[in-house]
A and B are shown apart, each in its own frame.
Chain A
Amino acid sequence: MATIVVLIVFALFLGAILTGGYNKQMLARFRSHWLWDWITTVDHKKIGILYLIGGTIFFVIGGIEALLMRTQLFYPNNDFMVGRTFNELLSMHGTTMIFFVAMPLLFALMNAVIPLQIGARDVAFPFLNALGFWLFLCGGLLMNLSWIFGNAPDSGWTNYVPIALNEYSAGTGIDYYVLGLQISGIGTLIGGLNFIVTIINMRTPGMSFLRMPLFTWTSFVSSALILFGFPPLTAGLFLVMFDRLFGANFFDVAAGGNPVIWQHLFWIFGHPEVYIVILPAFGIMSEVISTFAKKRLFGYTSMVFATLLIGFLGFMVWVHHMFTVGMGPVANSIFAIATMAIAVPTGIKVFNWLFTLWGGKIRFTTAMLYAVGFIPTFVLGGVTGVMLASPPGDYQYHDSYFVVAHFHYVLIGGTVFGILAGVYYWWPKMFGYLLNEKLGKLNFWLFFIGFHMTFFIQHFLGLFGMPRRVFTYQPEDQVELINQISTVGAFLQAVAVVVLVINVIYSYRNRVPAGNDPWDGRTLEWTITSPPPVYNFAQLPKVRALDAFWHEKMNGKKELEPAEPVGPIHMPNNTHLPFLMSLAFFVSGLGFVFRSNEVGALGLIFVFLVMFMRSFEQDHGYHIETDEIEKTEKGASV
């Protein structure tokens, strides 16, 4: 049945593309539709918005999953969502939040902001950038389809084997996980690669490495982590896929396999992943704190080196997720010390933020509230991190609610607070109007209180012997009240998210134009119009110092000196190929999920076909002529 559906979809798809089955009129109508513009866009600003929308949708899905779980845990022995259903919820919640919420939302901000911050007209690989987005979306959709077709993945976001093998996880749940992540993982990898090259090659004259804004720096390091962190996941996912689909024996003990290999590969990826999602948040905090304290970032250079050091050490510590696997005291000790070492550069960051605030003139906008709320929250997440680094302590904390509390402090208190700060901060730049501050502050306080209410007490749940990933607890465990408080907190966070959505709608209806520079900004993105024109900079600016815009402002100028005369600007053409290629990946993934290897292989062949179509295409882009630029710039200044 499923195979037939897939085959039909595939045939339609093939027919439409290859034969041009629709008539010319249809094609023209298609092409003039606004949706076609978004599907084919290669503009980093639009792709940023697409990431924002995609990430938000998955955020709502992941959030609902969390609420269902917290509801189940309201009473001991509750029977609302038990057994495999609960395992599916926790697996999908974790996977969704990490891969389809945190990363795309950060990519949204990176896309929207980095080219502007380094004074570039575009990213290095606009095509790959678009492809990255569509692959992420296809991967996310594929995985969430599992709710509709049969069963969802049920082995946790860590997908430990053997529980993830056919023998113990019947049905196709884990296949959705494996293929969904594989596809979106490719997207993430090329997204990261694109940012590295963009930052290295596309900086405007004068924008030396040590003049780059910290958000660009942290995104740069984070992209490097993606580049070297994702391949182990790719490799690991291949092994699971081969075991599940083609009868390989990597993890089957009876045939000589070893399940611990997966744990290593997963955490060699998994730990850098934590830094991939936290480092850009650090960058956002640095920008926001510096702007709203009206002060240069304290210890900029040491911040940069701390970032690099965290990135480097991030690869050296994966075994601290595996202290209880039984690798012996020597391995555990080495990785314990390496893990503790990360506290030093992280500490540098926290104190540098505090001393950026010191002596400043602090304005409490919503973005700043999130940034300020982030500091104590993240410090709590950080210190529990150091506590976890000590193996004898970890033997008690490991896989208990203590760990749950810890990583939610880091991932929500760090990443999500960072993303929300970034969204409030850059929203006017992305869309041209401000978000309402009153609703924003309400949103912050609800979220902040709800968050601490949910997770602070979970530290104690863990220390009182409640393992993580359990769908219930016994009355005699005496942890009912803590669980209930936690659940109430979770719903408070949900209310906060609703307020955020209302804020977006309200602010859209009552648009307050932002102007170029609503926050008295310091970096290049605030020198151009909001939203920026398609080419970003009519003339590339000449950067003369760190915080380039602020530097010019202090010297009594209103804008940066241009580094080039006005001239025609080269821009890449829109293309539908990234979308097509992702669709082919999607079909291939679906084929493998339904155990129809022919469809899977066909999809892959089509992927390569599109690749060759792209290779043969002579796409030289187009030029925006000088008079058009001048017209746009004049229109903007009026």
Chain B
Amino acid sequence: MSRGKRLALLLSTFAIFALMLTGCQEPAKSVFDPKGTAGEMNLDLIMTAIYIMTFVCAVVMIIFVYVLIRYRQKPGDNSIPKQVEGSMKLEMLWIIIPIILLAILAVPTLSTTFSLAETPNEKDALKVKVTAHQYWWEFEYPELGIKTAQELHIPVGKKVHFELTSDDVVHSFWVPELGGKQDLTPGQTNTMWLDAKEPGVYAGRCAELCGASHALMNFEVVAQEQEKFDQWVAKRQKPSSEPQTAEQEAGKKVFSQNCMSCHAIDGTKLKTKGDKAPNLTGISERNKIAGLLENNDKNMEKWLKHPDQIKPGTYMPSFDFLNKKDMNNLKAYLESLE
């Protein structure tokens, strides 16, 4: 190995680091910047592990580099090195030190594992039932009598006790800034708790391969101050779902003919409350359509017309057969839902 080549390697490594640092000064959602207690607990442990492992890597690298430079075969040197069998002392050293390092990691690991598995006190916690579907999230607040989808509202500073299950395949619930993930398995209910320490909108992802649109099964957690959260709850409990204009009235009719068997809207006198697809109560106030597109009129039409192009494999059928008027009325109705 010539000196030039080693230099090239070193430089390219640095180049990668430099690029990386410029590229990710502010990643949107980072495990390193937790906004909740669980996330902080995870991070504490991650950092402990990183420190220990950096130490291990440093020791290995120092010996490694030293050995490679010091013990190269010099040209013309054909002597036979001393054949060493081993060394009891040295080998004991690298058995015992790793054990000690692992013990240092193991103790907080165990205590954190158990604290994260605790069930929060009934009174202090908000209960949310999460049901995953291909490819959307259903959030139910059993104590408040609210059902919503794609956008999870939680109060700041309060533990949220999740009950997680799936309606079809295995999914995994992950809000990187608030904490770790938990699988949602059909036929099984898992629990976990999270909280948010400051208000904000936190991105959530499905982390277990669940089908064609696994990559797009996004959701958002909106953490609000208790007061604002209560307002939101009040509004969800008494939604304004009845049409105000003739256009909206016509839209409701289109809805009842085409959408009702899958989608529910609370606070209306529709005959059925579909439960195969997201509950659309107050959809105009959500940040996103389908958890993915910015909530505006253009995107709503795009989604209604060609959902399969936006989320491959979605169960939502295409509604491009609606005539222009029906489409506009339907949109007007949906956009009036508060």
- The 14 sampled A-B contact pairs (Cβ below 8 Å) are A87-B209, A160-B208, A160-B209, A168-B134, A329-B117, A351-B90, A357-B67, A376-B60, A379-B56, A399-B172, A452-B16, A453-B12, A471-B214, A478-B26
Contact A326 B168 (CB under 8 A): no
- Complex contacts, A259 vs chain B, CB 8 Å: 170, 185-187
A456 within 8 A of B: yes
Could you tell me if B168 and A478 are in contact, using CB atoms closer than 8 angstroms?
no
Residues of chain B touching chain A, judged by Cβ–Cβ distance below 8 Å, are 1, 5, 8-9, 12-13, 16, 19-20, 22-24, 26-32, 39, 41-42, 45-46, 49-50, 53, 56-57, 60-61, 63-64, 67-68, 71-73, 77, 79-87, 90-91, 94-95, 98-99, 102, 105-106, 109-110, 112-114, 116-117, 134, 164, 168-170, 172, 174, 176-177, 179-183, 185-188, 190-191, 203, 205-216, 218, 292, 312-313
A352 in contact with B114 given A449-B12, A457-B16 (CB within 8 Å): no
CB distance from A486 to the nearest CB of B (A): 10
Q: Which of B30, B185, B206 has the most CB of A within 10 A?
A: B185
Looking at the assembled complex, report how far the CB atom of A467 sits from the nearest CB atom of chain B, in whole angstroms: 4
Given the known interface contacts A168-B211, A387-B49, A391-B113, the answer about A465 and B203 at a Cβ–Cβ threshold of 8 Å is: yes
User: Which 7 residue pairs of A and B lie closest in terms of their CB atoms, listed nearest first?
Assistant: A395-B180, A83-B312, A481-B23, A470-B215, A326-B190, A253-B187, A299-B86
Contact among A258, A293, A396, A464 with B42 in the assembled complex (CB-CB below 8 Å): A396
The answer to whether A354 touches B27 (Cβ under 8 A) is no
Which residue of chain A lies nearest to B19 when distances are taken between CB atoms in the complex?
A: A485
Task: Say whether B170 contacts A348, CB under 8 Å.
Answer: no
| A156 to B172 Cα, complex, angstroms | 15
Q: Are A296 and B83 in contact (CB under 8 A)?
A: yes
Which residues on A sit within 8 Å (CB–CB) of B213?
Answer: 83
Determine whether the beta carbon of B46 is less than 8 Å from that of A387. yes
Q: Cβ of B212 and Cβ of A464 under 8 Å apart? A: no
Which residues of B lie under 8 Å from residue A476 when comparing CB positions? 28
Bound-state CA distance A336–B105 (Å) is 11
Tell me whether A396 and B46 are in contact in the complex, defined as CB-CB below 8 angstroms, given that A343-B102, A456-B16 are known contacts: yes
| B180 contacts across to A, CB distance below 8 A | 324, 392, 394-396, 398
Q: Which of A26-34, A171-179, A217-225, A359-367 contacts B (4 or more CB under 8 A)?
A: A359-367
Distance of A436 Cα from B140 Cα, bound (Å): 66
Instruction: List chain B residues, Cβ under 8 A from A155.
Output: 209
| Contact A481–B181 (Cβ < 8 Å) | no
Indicate whether A298 sits within 8 Å of B84 (C-beta atoms), given known contacts A333-B114, A348-B95, A362-B68: yes
Does the CB pair B207–A372 fall under 8 Å? no
* Binary per-residue interface labels of chain A (364-392) against chain B in the complex, 1 for a CB within 8 Å, 0 otherwise: 10000100100110011001101100111
Chain A residues near B71 (CB-CB < 8 A): 293, 357-362
* B174 → A minimal CB distance (Å): 7
Contact A355 B90 (CB under 8 A): yes
Majority secondary structure, B binding face: mixed
The answer to whether A293 and B179 touch (CB under 8 A), given A160-B209, A340-B106, A467-B207, is no
Contact of B106 among A82, A336, A554 (CB under 8 A): A336
B contact residues around A294 at 8 Å (CB): 73, 80-81
Q: How far is the CA of A474 from the CA of B72 in the complex (A)?
A: 49
- A464 in complex: contacting residue of B16, B27, B84, B207, CB < 8 Å: B27
Known pairs A357-B71, A358-B67, A363-B73; A478 contacts B24 (CB<8 A):
yes
Given A300-B86, A375-B64, A469-B214, residue A386 in contact with residue B53 (CB < 8 A): yes
Q: Are A399 and B90 in contact (CB under 8 A)?
A: no
Mask, A316-327, CB within 8 Å of B = 1, is: 000000001110
Q: Which residues of A contact B64 (CB under 8 A)?
A: 354, 375-376
* Residues on A with beta carbons closer than 8 Å to the beta carbon of B49: 386-387, 390, 393
A101 to B42, CA, bound (A): 36
List the A residue with the shortest CB-CB distance to B82: A359
Which B residues touch A344, using CB under 8 A?
95, 98-99, 102
Residues A293 and B81 in contact, CB atoms below 8 Å apart: yes
Q: Are B183 and A324 in contact (CB under 8 A)?
A: yes
- A25–B121 Cα gap in the complex (Å)? 86
